[in-house]
Structure 1
Amino acid sequence: MEIEVKLKQLLSERNMKQVELSNLTGLTQRTISELTNNQIERLPKSTLCKIAEALEIEDIRQLIDFKK
């Protein structure tokens, strides 16, 4: 089982570019890109919180999910 970050879908739904999210969160464009493409091994809580706040997400399951 793996954890899937659903950031690509969320950005698409909001017509938002990765660079915009980077500017809103203060996270690097590289970090946003790696999360968007599910190429990141660790998911720091602070990173998830910044993204959730910027995208006004109240349920973490909107951002991450388990993938079999």
Structure 2
Amino acid sequence: MKEFFTNSLGSAGETESVFTDVSEQKHKDGYTCTHCQSTNVIRFGKYQVKTTINTIERQRYRCKVR
């Protein structure tokens, strides 16, 4: 994982592309509920992450089991 960050940060000019790459690595097997570990999740709105350069919009997910 250290190699992934080193390569991403060394070659990326924008913060957003690094967030996208990390998200793809983290969720390569799909999204899971943090409470019950179910893989049965749906989209549930969006939220904004402020960086030093700009604001990035991220997708929220919610467990369907609830």
Tell me the TM-score range normalised by the shorter chain: under 0.3
Larger Rg: 1 or 2? 2
Give TM-score scaled by structure 1 length. 0.25
Determine which structure has the larger helix proportion and give its number. 1
Determine which structure has the larger strand proportion and give its number. 2
Give TM-score scaled by structure 2 length. 0.26
By relative contact order (CA 8 Å, sep 6+), the higher-ranking structure is 1
